[in-house]
Structure 1
């Protein structure tokens, strides 16, 4: 009975933690409209000053990039992930949201722990579980909320990295639509080609917003270094040889005119079509192996675990699996292997549209 009471108390304190988060989130929604305008102005000023310094230093350009690598790293990720990307502003918003997540989780955890009747002790969950020591003052209560807050604050970044990896693969295929549509507007200037192409792309195309920004760069650049920087960011976001060829054709057309641009884009289109057919053929032949890598290991794992539980009984299996060093070690190895297998199978399931 006491174990059930302890479990109920833990669930109630988890509920309080969630309610504290809801209160802080509501306060943030009230304050956000008041600071959004100032945040936008701050982001525009920071981006302007950084770009101005990068263009003013000339030979020290690489040195400045190394000093600002965190900002440039986040900016490049958001450039491809955020469909409403704005230079400077998107980075400030991301940092602000990360800080809000950190503060909300930390304060919620701190307030929740302060309401405990004594000290909350975390022991082996399969032996003693979680226990309360009444009457003992809490010391260092900020350590556990701080740890949880740091972990929670990293989630937006890793989520962005995952989305970035997924959009890179999609972008390699969406580039084919960009090349096809661009061939219809080669009578225009390069910025006009990119602007028109962006308008005709579907909303689901991940290159729609980056292409619009690239067109603005071709229309408004004041120095060749600025244009090369923006063009390199576009091709680097996709990360394929076809993207490099596409950008090279545009840069050449910007310097020498668009006379030969249509033929170059049509050749690029044919190469991409042939490579896509090759990839689809290889994928069709290896579909069974890819599916086996995705789901076969899980089927084997659950069937094996089910068999052991049936033979050893649940209590014995849980004791051997979670209360012995060998069982925990093998569990970590199995979970790590499953994760690696899933990642490799996911990459093989849809490779980039590239020469290799």
Structure 2
């Protein structure tokens, strides 16, 4: 038991070393990325932007860029995506190295593990060949955590953004006498800091003030609408594009109608949610209750010692336990997300 605690402490300090290295190189990476973004004028140079979109913006890049656009409060084109990829890659490599280095020192504890070949005392090279599978699995799981967290945060913020759009519409309606970009800037400044659309709205304002062709403006406007992903957001963006093209003559009336529709739908959603609050709570905590009761029942029937031995010292027990835990976490997250539907017509 003491050996295991020693190895756990050693693993912890290995992780601290890798974390310290990342903290040292992170400022240099940030500075270099901002220098590259500024030099290429990524956001302001339309020609470069269009070429980069065709040449560099592959599916993975576009996907991460759209997620970070809504989830990162200090989102910067090109910089945020590159930094996220580097952080995830550094985490994957770091976890693999520290796990591999630590596990080379305790081969006897894992001699019966299915990830190993069982021949772990020949040499360092042979040990590495034998133990690389589990560290690689742990590294992949660790490296995917930032994406999973960002994906969950994106889904949550999409829902929040659908409600925050109501504030945007209300405030923007007061500035319809201004140009579209000026009204967007004023609306963004007036929004609370906890409004998830504050930063995307300012980016949209930058695009309205600096665009050089209609295709570029359409792309940024549709990205804003897609980040909220509601019919109300598409109507709002359509109104802005019409106002930019034809003037603000009918904009105020259109926004007032949109505001009334959103208010009415919001009241409907709140009413339905109140009527189904018990079912929502059951979905949130029912699985947790079943999970705890099932474990408690098995421990009572088998005795704690035998239960832990069967659950955590056999491949089948560990596999099923991981499947149950992962399924429970996924169901719990979905229950949280579904407990507050988007502010939309559906």
TM-score by length of 2: 0.86
Question: 1:137 is matched with which residue: 123, 128, 131?
Answer: 123
**1:315: Cα distance to partner?**
4.0
Give distance in 1, aligned partners of 2:307 and 2:142: 32
- Structure 1 residues 173, 37: closer, same or farther in 2, change over 3 A? same
Give distance in 1, aligned partners of 2:106 and 2:231: 62
3-state SS, counterpart of residue 150 of structure 2: helix
What does residue 244 of structure 1 align with?
A: 234
What is the RMSD of the two structures over their aligned residues, measured on CA atoms? 3.1
- Structure 1 residues 182, 134: closer, same or farther in 2, change over 3 A? closer
Alignment of 1:203-218 (within 5 A): 203-218=193-208
**1:303: Cα distance to partner?**
2.8
3-state SS, counterpart of residue 165 of structure 1: helix
3-state SS, counterpart of residue 48 of structure 1: coil
Question: 2:74 is matched with which residue: 78, 84, 87?
Answer: 84
The worse-fitting range, judged by mean Cα deviation, of 31-40 and 243-252 is 31-40
Give distance in 2, aligned partners of 1:198 and 1:288: 37
3-state SS, counterpart of residue 110 of structure 2: strand
What does residue 14 of structure 1 align with?
A: 8
Give distance in 1, aligned partners of 2:137 and 2:183: 50
**1:259: Cα distance to partner?**
1.2
The worse-fitting range, judged by mean Cα deviation, of 226-235 and 289-298 is 289-298
**Across the two proteins, how many residue pairs are aligned to each other?**
339
Give distance in 2, aligned partners of 1:20 and 1:65: 39
CA contact (8 A) 1:249 1:261 kept: yes
* Cα-to-partner distance string for 1:194-242 (whole Å, 9 max, x where unaligned): 0000000000000000000001100100000000000000000001000
- Structure 1 residues 264, 345: closer, same or farther in 2, change over 3 A? same
CA contact (8 A) 2:40 2:48 kept: no
**1:335: Cα distance to partner?**
4.6
1:123 aligns with 2:109: no
Give distance in 2, aligned partners of 1:353 and 1:153: 33
1:277 aligns with 2:271: no
**1:42: Cα distance to partner?**
2.8
Give distance in 2, aligned partners of 1:108 and 1:159: 23
Alignment of 1:179-328 (within 5 A): 179-318=169-308
Give distance in 1, aligned partners of 2:28 and 2:19: 15
Question: 2:63 is matched with which residue: 65, 69, 73?
Answer: 73
1:351 aligns with 2:346: no
3-state SS, counterpart of residue 42 of structure 2: helix
What does residue 166 of structure 1 align with?
A: 156
The worse-fitting range, judged by mean Cα deviation, of 211-220 and 16-25 is 16-25
What does residue 42 of structure 2 align with?
A: 48
CA contact (8 A) 2:46 2:212 kept: no
Give distance in 2, aligned partners of 1:38 and 1:56: 22
Structure 1 unaligned segments of length 5 or more: list them. Answer: 1-6
CA contact (8 A) 1:43 1:92 kept: no
1:94 aligns with 2:84: yes
**1:245: Cα distance to partner?**
0.4
Give distance in 2, aligned partners of 1:37 and 1:180: 38
**1:20: Cα distance to partner?**
1.5
CA contact (8 A) 1:118 1:137 kept: no
- Structure 1 residues 113, 332: closer, same or farther in 2, change over 3 A? closer
Give distance in 1, aligned partners of 2:108 and 2:37: 44
Give distance in 2, aligned partners of 1:239 and 1:207: 13
Alignment of 1:20-35 (within 5 A): 20-35=14-29
What does residue 4 of structure 1 align with?
A: none
**1:33: Cα distance to partner?**
3.0
The worse-fitting range, judged by mean Cα deviation, of 145-154 and 231-240 is 145-154
The worse-fitting range, judged by mean Cα deviation, of 313-322 and 341-350 is 313-322
**1:293: Cα distance to partner?**
1.2
